[in-house]
A and B are shown apart, each in its own frame.
Chain A
Amino acid sequence: MTDLSIQEASEIAHNYRVIRDKRKRRAAITKHLFLAICSLIMVYPLIWMIVSSVKPDNEIFGNISLWPSEFIWQNYPDGWNGLFLSFTVFYKNSIIVTVLAVIGNTLSCSFAAYAFARLEFKGKNIFFALMMMTLMIPYHVVLIPQYLLFLKIGWVNTFLPLIVPRFLAGDAFFIFLMVQFFRQLPRDLDEAAMIDGCSPFKIYWAVIMPLSLPALATTAIFTFIWTWEDFLGPLIYLNDIRDYTVPLALRNFISQDSVSMFGQLFAMSILSIVPIFVFFIFFQKFIIRGIATSGLK
């Protein structure tokens, strides 16, 4: 070591830096490559759907080639008016149900979650267990009992069975989700606010909610997607075709015993995910920004 000249030493240091940079660059490239390959796998179905949406129907199945012989853009306007009513109606219904469900879920579930996560009261564990139970029961066996109930109170053939439960914290998934996030917030915040004379409601609204934007945004996004795509609820509760939602309408393109409209089905399927995508892009920012920019710490 002692024999090492300055020149040699600087050379070694230089080599080390080169290697380190190389390794870093290689890591970055690997990462991007990995992400790119994954993205391809993720995006393939969308490409496939888009291509299928402009193919003639008799090329979607027998024909392996991805490229259509001709582009049938007409599938889009035709599909929009391809069913008994135009998709304008179905979109309107879907938007009403979905937007109300998002509002209902974020409010009512955060309410319940606040109680479970931050307040003490008798029977808390039992209520929590009961809430979890509603998550565990397979939906298909409560379908008929639930239908009988809603029929009795006269809600069948209205949007009410799809909306009201959302305002009554009917989605245990989101209560539990928010409980987990609320429990992570420092206790000192509540205590400080309590000393300042804040009511529990004030603490919920002014302290907990602003700090929980990521959880709220996650709830909003999931509620939007799951409500938008839900078809079992609308299937059972909506009779009048003028009340049909988009997923319910989409299924009517496929026929068991006669002419299906696959091209139009794919075209409308593409359009049906546009609102989800827009909502996602907009609200995911809140997940990311979340606490970082709220300035409270």
Chain B
Amino acid sequence: MKKFFAKNGPGYFFLIPWFIGFFCLALGPILYSLYLSFTKYNIFKPPKWIGLENYEFMFLYDDRFWKSLEVTFSYVFMSVPGKLIFALAVAMLLDKGMRAIGFYRALFYLPSILGGSIAVAILWKQLFEYNGVINSLLAKIGIEGPYWLNDPNYSLYTLVMLGMWQFGSPMLIFIAGLRAIPRELYEAAEIDAASKWKQFYAITVPLLAPVIFFNLVLQMIDAFKTFSSAFIISGGAGAPLDSLNFITVYLYNEAFAFYRMGYASSLAWILMLIIAVFTGVAFFSSRYWVHYENERD
């Protein structure tokens, strides 16, 4: 017993706040939502146990569920790589000694600051209107722009662009990560006349791998859970033609507009399982490409 605590005690000590928070505040609601996913619960009246009926309906009969999966997956696969590459490129550009660097950094973070506000939703709609700024720019180079937000073939792209435009958070984390790489390594490489490209994949990528991994996992989770921008821009209903009916938007409406909290919970748990699988795969793969300083030997 004594030995157990001598070995594990410090770890548990540092986790005390987390233990309290997780077991007293977080776990209960999560388990309750799992319970609700097996019930019919219209919020007004107590939940009623219906077994697997919600899941059965979802997989066998609910076309909108499958459509929402398609939308969500398309969004994740389009926006995450783009956003990460963009964030890393700008972070590296801004990492170098350069005039007005702080100024640029603040500027690039701006869209993320404006992120959730109503004002940005109004602006985004105005930009992508048929007669909006984007299409008049396209017209100047002889392209007739589409109805970005109204046409289900294009609406998701505008949202992907909005997502990529708000690349400030991963960028900042990349900058912090780049700063942690010792300068001497680059200086040594410079002396060895290693090309920039070589420096990138021989020094930057391996040493930044933990941060790249973090951004990848978190951006992925975030993208799967995208809600606010899709909700506002699609008028709250995933319009047009469910092309913006992200699974989160769908479950929000099920819960709060149509009073089907039980079904919404089952949707949420399916989404969570999907995210868990992807995160698990990412963690598993990280063994092969992410190496930590303290675990080198």
Contacts and interface: CB of A to CB of B under 8 A. Distances in A.
B14 A39 contact: no
Interface in B194-241: 207, 210-211, 213-214, 217-218, 221, 225, 227
Interface stretch (B20-28, B50-58, B143-151, B185-193): B20-28
B106 A280 contact: yes
A135 B221 CA distance: 8
Classify chain A's interface size: 35 or more
A132 B218 CA distance: 10
Contact of B268 (A137, A214, A284): A137
B255 A181 contact: no
A131 B217 CA distance: 14
B105 interface: yes
Contacts of B227: 138-140
Contacts of B123: 45, 48-49
Max chain B C-beta neighbours (<10 A), residue from A52, A139, A145, A222: A145
A164 to B, nearest CB: 8
B7 A121 contact: yes
B75 interface: no
Nearest to A203: B10
A251 B210 CA distance: 39
A198 to B, nearest CB: 12
A1 interface: no
Interface in A121-171: 121-122, 124, 127, 130-142, 144-146, 148-149, 164-165, 167-170
Given A108-B18, A214-B180, A186 B293 contact: yes
A35 interface: yes
Label chain A's interface by main secondary structure.
helix
Contacts of B109: 280
A266 B13 CA distance: 47
Interface of B: 4, 7-8, 10-15, 17-18, 20-22, 24-30, 32-33, 36, 43, 90, 93, 102, 104-120, 123, 131, 165, 169, 172-173, 175-177, 179-180, 182-183, 207, 210-211, 213-214, 217-218, 221, 225, 227, 248, 251-252, 255-256, 261, 264-265, 268, 271-272, 275-276, 279, 292-295
Across chains A and B, which 4 residue pairs bring their CB atoms closest together, nearest first? Answer: A168-B21, A121-B11, A145-B29, A115-B14
21 contacts: A48-B123, A49-B114, A120-B11, A122-B8, A130-B22, A131-B18, A138-B225, A138-B251, A140-B264, A140-B268, A141-B255, A141-B261, A145-B28, A180-B213, A180-B214, A183-B210, A183-B294, A184-B292, A221-B172, A229-B117, A287-B176
